[in-house]
Structure 1
Amino acid sequence: MADRGPVLVVGGTGMLGSQVVSGLLTGGKHVRALVRPGSDASLLEELGATIARGDMMDPESLVSAMDGVDAVITSAAGYTHHREGDSPVIDTVGNTNLVDAASRVGVRRFVLTSILTCDQTPEVPHFWHKKLTEDRLEELGVPFVALRPGAFLEQIARFGDPFSEGRLTWFGSPSVPLTYVLASDLAGYLAAAVDASGVEGQRIDIGWDRPVTMQDIADISGQILGRKIELVLTPMNPLNPMAKDLGAMIDWFGTGRYVADTSRQREVFGPPPTAEDAVARLLTSLGHKLD
């Protein structure tokens, strides 16, 4: 397919966004990454992306960053506070600014990283904000596709390798099945969604071959490693600035309704990974040698 122009990636300095940039470049796309003034963009430049300095809170900088682009992919999320300057306002005002800029410029496709079941959860702010962004895209007539992934499995290793310690820590129910994803898989789907046919205006659930419990994750990883992995339940820290939002999310998880319908994912992107394959790849990424 002829190159129509660069793809603007918003959130490219994050765990997911950097993998989206890499996947697009590997696929032969030209990539422009939106990076806040003062943020380090050296890794993205080393990958081969060009850098557009701008901020989701500055509408004109977004219009400038989108000048001449073919498509936009955003994985930006303010509520996580993973990077300096992140704020929940990114998920509201920032996303509105981004969609409005895409409408003004007339991008061919806008690929949104949404959240599974976001349209069912007004009580979970960071879920609901994704639903509102989907609605804004539809309202303004921006050609879009929204991928709705489950929970990132990598989060269990955010503060270290729990498998080396033999203990998985979890603050939800050990027995309610949920949908999980690997960021590396989602990054590939996001990159592929730029040119996927027949997806405009669709919300596509993203997950594995089946929902699993965190006890299942412990058991699967233990079987792969050949030793027991203990599941330890821990209460959420009430001093966490995201405690209210995360608490509402955990309550939603407990309903058993955080489960993907992966039929459309299968049609567009191919068979979903199995839980066993995904866990094995996470273990490999953490440096574990598998038999």
Structure 2
Amino acid sequence: MATVLVTGATGNVGSRAVDELRDRGIPVRAFVRDPERAAAVLGGLTDLAHGDFARVDSVRRAMDGIERVLLICGNDPRQVEFGTAAIDAAARAGVRRIVLLSTIGAEAGSPTVFFDQHGRIEEYLHGSRIPGVVLRSSHLMSNLLGSAATIRQAGRFFLPAGDARIAMIDPRDVAAAAAAALTTDGHDGRTHVLTGPEALTYGDVARRLSGVVGRPIEFVDVPDEAALAGLARAGLSPWLAEQVVAVFGALRDGVNASTTDTVRELTGREPRDIEDFVRWSAPLLQSD
């Protein structure tokens, strides 16, 4: 198979997708903004396309000689612009399949901005001349790592999640599903909904986490206003903080409460549970 381009290649899903494809013997090109970070994260991968979505010329260069693309666009006020420009660049380069990482809840016109953005990019892909596959991922287990510092230092983490039941998914399973969609036939035009094996509250997550790390970990529900202030202190822009909190509102409304069998159907194995993810992430979560 010809080289696959992975955008967002140093992120939680993108980096694991690079690993999955390389394990299958598929040549990979990574589209990255930071070559030093790429060198550290991607384990010696040498086919790197440097640039970012804001520079259309760099996106076009990254597409040269590419037949299949895993398109991952990070959350940004210009996400729709970046995603649609990448699809246009892929069409210009003769790309024959795009696998788009999207989210459960994606819908153009949604009052939740992240969902609206993903929905508009999905619509643009379906309206393009490139065969496309959409992967709508549930809430990633790796979002827990945003609270790693307070888990290590205080044995607590703070989120505006309430009692939301969330079928959260390990990013390695999203990556494995993406690799399958990129390398096997029968997916073009389809939308696959990816979830973990069970819907958990963050209180459940805290109890499972406690059992794995061997010390008490507590989840603390916080109001949206307190979450916004905490995210601002962590360095998020006001726009991004507001949209993250809005997503937690959607989670409380049940947007990610249902499970699917899609990971098993695409990969041939069951999705990983939260204990497996915590064991994999344990060095980041153990006390200082």
TM-score (norm 2): 0.84
Matches of 1:147 and 1:185, distance apart in 2: 12
How far residue 14 of structure 1 moved from its aligned partner, in angstroms, is 2.6
Residue in 2 that maps onto 1:42: 39
Q: Which residue of 1 aligns with 2:227?
A: 236
Whether 2:210 is the aligned partner of 1:219: answer no
Whole-angstrom CA distance in 1 between matches of 2:45 and 2:95: 22
SS of match in other structure, 1:174: coil
Structure whose residues are more often helix by fraction: 2
In structure 1, C-alpha distance between the alignment counterparts of 2:128 and 2:87, rounded to whole Å: 8
Cross-structure match for 1:58 = 55
1:55, distance to aligned residue in structure 2 (A): 3.1
Distance 1:44 1:176 in 2: 32
The letter of the residue matching 2:70 is I
| Aligned counterparts of 1:159 and 1:173: Cα–Cα separation in 2 | 13
Is residue 13 from structure 1 mapped to residue 7 from structure 2 by the alignment? no
Which of 188, 191, 196 does residue 208 from structure 1 map onto? Answer: 196
Select the residue among 245, 264, 267 that pairs with 2:262.
264
Aligned to 1:249: 247
Query: Which digits, 9 at most, give the CA deviation of each residue in 1:201-232, with x for residues without a partner?
Result: 11211111111100110112223344432222
Q: Report what 1:112 is aligned to.
A: 100
Task: Report the residue type matching 2:250 in the other structure.
Answer: W
Amino acid in structure 2 at the alignment position of 1:128: D
CA spacing shift, 1:78–1:68, aligned 2, 3 Å: same
Match of 1:84 in 2: none
Deviations 1:2-42 (A, max 9, x none): x2x11111111333322222222222111112234877543
For residues 80-119 of structure 1, the aligned pairs below 5 Å read: 88-89=77-78, 91-119=79-107
Calculate percent identity across the aligned residue pairs.
26
Deviation of the 1:275 alpha carbon? 3.0
Moved more, 168-177 or 30-39: 30-39
Q: Partners in 1 of 2:284 and 2:58 — Cα distance? A: 38
Question: Which one-letter code corresponds to 1:243 in the other structure?
Answer: A
| Structure 1 residue 121, shift from structure 2 partner | 7.1
The SS at the match of 2:227 is coil
Q: In the TM superposition, what are the counterparts of 1:270-281 in structure 2 within 5 Å?
A: 270-281=268-279
CA distance in 2, matches of 1:33, 1:173: 34
Is the CA contact 1:147–1:190 (under 8 Å) kept in the aligned structure 2?
A: yes
Q: SS of the residue aligned with 1:158?
A: helix
Structure 1 residues 268 and 133, CA, compared in 2 at 3 Å: closer, same or farther?
same
Report the aligned-residue RMSD: 2.6
What does residue 69 of structure 1 align with?
A: 66
Structure 1 gaps of 5+ residues are: 80-87
Aligned to 1:82: none
Give 1:77 shift.
0.2
* Partners of 2:244 and 2:136 in 1: CA distance: 18
Q: Is the 8 A contact 2:71 2:101 kept in 1?
A: yes
Secondary structure of 1:204's match? strand
CA shift at 1:45, angstroms?
Answer: 7.1
Q: Which moved more, 1:153-162 or 1:96-105?
A: 153-162
User: What is aligned with 1:183?
Assistant: 171
Cα–Cα, structure 1 residues 27 and 285, in superposed 2: closer, same or farther, change >3 Å? farther
Offset of residue 271 of structure 1: 4.0
Ranked by relative contact order (alpha carbons within 8 Å, sequence separation 6 or more), the top structure is 2
Maintained 8 Å contact 1:66/1:102: yes
Match in the other structure for 1:32: 29
Q: Which amino acid counterpart does residue 254 of structure 2 have in structure 1?
A: G
